């Protein structure tokens, strides 16, 4: 039953999308333009990082002007993949589309738009749905970050799993950093983190860290209260964060970047500041 409802929803999406394309395009019988994109299938259900190959055939009664290929996902702007100038009355090309690995939405719309010198247009479109198999995340343990007052590595690169000196590192790779701004107490950890790289944090101590998957971490982070710093840190705290999304240069789609779950295992806050530090595990 759930599968039938799912396919009904997909069919509605396909119908509405192509109705819009049809209404905004020239009528095939009246248009001096012809645009064929093969294979003729309009819906594709594929894995991330699959390559889809298309053959594009264009012709016009007058001179062709240009061909655009755009990609679009829900709640995002249109990304132009190809915008090539044309000449003559016919044009053929092969186009390969690499499906992205991770994006905010599972449905991608590919739009093919042909123009001629008389400003006539013809459009064709494909709908691509990505198969996402939820996966368990990999944990690494024993990460250390020192106090900002220690003179040691007080920042951390979550991607490479390496501690950093905040004073000598590019802020874009300092994903977390200890903050010690309590001038009245210079002998203790201030137990506050912020991110020079611009990450936000969600404290979620009820999160199922032991069994977390990509989707459970993504959904928990997106539903949480995002803060640009976390204070009053305690052993056992679980923090969720993510890197900013970025534009994939190949597929020209907005990529939903990596999520991280950080579990604080130990906070060492002895007399003096030289060896004060946090010990934590990371899942990503």
Q: What is the CATH number of the domain that holds 50?
A: 2.60.40.2550
Burial profile 245-263: b = 16 or more Cβ within 10 angstroms, e = fewer:
eeebeebbbbbbeebbbbb
CB atoms inside a 10 Å sphere around CB 192:
17
Separation of alpha carbons 122 and 32, rounded Å: 9
According to the model, what pLDDT value does residue 132 have? 72
Q: Is the domain of 112 the same as that of 44?
A: yes
Torsion angle of the four alpha carbons 36, 37, 41, 42, in this order, in degrees rounded to the nearest 10: -100
Is residue 95 within 8 A of residue 252, CB to CB? The reply is no
Q: What is the pLDDT, as a whole number, of residue 189?
A: 86
Distances (CA, A) of 283 to 44, 233, 242: 32, 18, 12
Looking at residue 243, what is its pLDDT?
Answer: 87
- For the beta carbon of residue 69, count every other beta carbon within 10 angstroms: 21
279: left (phi over 0), alpha (psi -120 to 50) or beta: beta
What is the total count of domains within the chain?
2
CA distance 37 to 95: 10
Q: What domain range includes position 161?
A: 139-283
User: pLDDT at position 22, please?
Assistant: 44
In a shared domain, residues 85 and 218 = no
Residue 97: enclosing H or E segment and its boundaries?
strand 90-98
d(CA 210, CA 137): 9
**pLDDT 10s digit of each residue in the chain, 284 long?**
443 444 445 544 544 454 444 444 444 445 689 999 999 999 999 988 899 999 999 999 989 999 999 998 876 778 899 999 999 999 999 999 998 866 667 789 999 999 999 989 999 999 999 887 677 788 999 999 999 999 999 999 998 999 999 999 999 999 999 998 655 556 678 899 999 999 999 999 999 999 998 889 988 999 999 999 999 999 999 999 998 765 555 555 555 568 999 999 999 998 888 899 999 999 98
Global pTM value: 0.59
Q: Which of 101, 130, 159 is the last residue of a domain?
A: 130
Q: What is the pLDDT of residue 6?
A: 45
Co-location of 147 and 278 in the same domain: yes
pLDDT of the residue at 4: 40
Residues 90 and 198 in one domain: no
Q: Do 126 and 145 lie in a common domain?
A: no
């Amino acid at each position: 039953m759930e599968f039938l409802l799912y396919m009904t929803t997909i069919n509605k999406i396909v119908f509405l999308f192509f109705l819009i394309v049809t209404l905004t395009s020239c009528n095939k019988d009246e248009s001096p333009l012809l645009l064929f994109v093969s294979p003729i299938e309009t819906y594709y259900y594929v894995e991330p990082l699959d390559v889809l190959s298309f053959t594009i055939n264009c012709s016009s009664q007058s001179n062709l002007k240009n061909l655009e290929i755009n990609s679009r996902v829900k709640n995002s702007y249109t990304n132009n993949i190809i915008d090539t100038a044309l000449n003559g009355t016919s044009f053929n090309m092969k186009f390969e589309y690499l499906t992205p690995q991770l994006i905010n939405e599972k449905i991608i719309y590919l739009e093919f738009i042909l123009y001629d010198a008389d400003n006539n247009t013809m459009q064709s479109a494909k709908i691509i749905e990505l198969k996402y198999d939820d996966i368990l995340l990999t944990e690494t343990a024993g990460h250390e970050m020192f106090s900002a007052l220690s003179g040691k590595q007080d920042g951390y690169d979550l991607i490479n799993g390496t501690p950093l000196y905040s004073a000598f590192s590019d802020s874009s790779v300092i994903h977390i950093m200890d903050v010690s701004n309590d001038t009245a107490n210079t002998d203790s950890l201030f137990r506050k983190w912020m991110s020079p790289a611009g990450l936000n944090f969600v404290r979620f101590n009820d999160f199922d860290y032991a069994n977390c998957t990509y989707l459970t971490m993504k959904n928990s982070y997106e539903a949480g209260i995002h803060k640009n710093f976390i204070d009053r840190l305690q052993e056992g705290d679980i923090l969720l964060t993510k890197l900013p999304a970025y534009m994939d240069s190949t597929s020209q789609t907005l990529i939903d970047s990596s999520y991280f779950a950080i579990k604080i295992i130990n906070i060492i806050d002895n007399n003096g500041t030289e060896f004060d530090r946090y010990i934590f595990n990371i899942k990503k």
